[in-house]
Chains A and B, each alone.
Chain A
């Protein structure tokens, strides 16, 4: 089906196996292909702009589609002609941000893009400088320019309420502009990308392939392990590395521990947003057990640091296994008890029912992922659609709710927590013996790899092109919140201001993960380190 569409449009299939199709599509056929793929139920995962001059081929964009039905990712590569590529945003709304990102970072123009404005680069960044181009040094700091002043239209009937960049409901610097009439929100705008960490550039210019898992882990402070997992999978996919089965099971175990801790954290946040502090305390009390568990298994509460290319670093012995069993057993009962009682609290349900509705059709168009999608009746889960780690051999359900309101997203996450307990039990039961790492591999040059995991917030995609000498040529992680955020204005409009925090919270936004992709330090003149650290760049032996 998908191959038919591609063949019909003169696509050249570069790689085709059971997980991935990589094709090259001519410039003029791109829109047609995108349209047909979208109507064939493939949703838009992400787009990656690449400066391929190092591979002597100019600039290109890789559009990545996810076909749940066929269980494949489809990578569509198109070269820029005179730095221009036709935009697919008019056909697929979800491509909007990805194309604008490539526009900012690589400098590709998109023909026919409805709003070709800056997305990631700060307002004072000079025109014509594109940080992810290969001829842009990673430590360059261009002088800032005077930002263009934006004219704001003022409607006397509405009040503008800024939510962010600093707001107690948002735990990270992000900003929403809400326009309200009385208590009702009439318009919502999102302004993001305040947190610039330059991770992609750093990885591409200064780090080696086995150092990046630790950088990837630091993309997110909550679901870091899933990022390092996705990165390692991408490399393993590109270099065709076999990972020992025991390592896959250990990865699965930690991924599920991370999911439980992330969801419990989120419940706490939602209860806090609804003013129910005791619920917050209860869920975080349970979560604490999982933090301790992670500490026992990996040596740290949050940054597990377990992943390397080809496997994991620490095995799980019998005594640790028993500890996990005991904690899971107790927490399961606790979680069910707390949650059942909380769900009997009418005033909380009233605040969540029919609030922040995201209809299925809009959700598909934007390409929302994870619990946000499953709350809107979309049955999508990377663990089922594209089995990775040990998920193919385990048995679990994926909860889907149709109503699309905040409550359905809460229930999806609650059932997921219960499924995660069940998965952990299975993993411990079936944990195979053997090696935990395969270090016998060679990284090919310019091989494309794609790793996808189901992060607690949804599908997490890492795209990677390798290079000589154990380096990466291009690494693009796409965090789930990147796809979920554009759905927020749809959920917010027409709701009460009082519900805005819980609606924003309901997609479990993780802003820093979304923003990590950019490179620039927006705060001008910020000194990252000083003193003896200036020696930091000194290389050894010199």
Chain B
């Protein structure tokens, strides 16, 4: 087996989006992950989000590191260029790609081993640089491909499948992202598609560093009793702070909300984020409040999900660098090479 394509036949009445594409046009090859893997639900959510936003698939660049999660970009958007790079280094490759062409949509997919251990440094620096991207960590608290070792996001005190107790503190990547200046930070659960799809849509339309920590249970190595990343555990301890609706400029606003229950965020591109509050008084526009809420609920054993923080006036790395609006990979000799005349002046200044 090299790889499996999916048959392209589909039901004639499958709905089409504004571009005339059906969901099938956003799919990739058949997943080779374990049956029931949370990551496959995330891939499905990415497909759904891109379809709903009517993104042209080829205008997305999907990048990943190494691990189960990093394999998933082959399972969606097969009209997009993909890059399965090296372990823990997706952020730098994505940053470089983004510098080369600011016009594409950058989707980075990583795992907890990839981002919280070997790649913690690159994760951190891509956040503080404000790279315009959607960075999804498919977080299962375990190394799947190497068969069940704890990862750095595993909670202290959780049990491995073999019964070993994790004695090291778990890293909360969402908290780190908040501290490091990411301008869109969310947490979700692969088992809650209704919550996850809008969060991905919001991240894809966000004009800065968007980070999503998605708890994604590993059915093979981390779905047992004593694990804090099992389907059962996450369902029982999930505390959503809000529900998101992403309203692109093209769409008329039809949803109606009871007054005072919605927080509205207008992004640079004109798209609107409507946050239906679930936790009273939760303010997604406050970085400090977000960190405080997430950590205090964690102390009570709860996993806070939803859009934790969003900055409406987010900037990105290109804005900081003052880069031209034209993609750098589209510039030629005319813009780039100063020619002999400039060299003559330089030569003269060096005598």
> Do A and B actually bind?
no
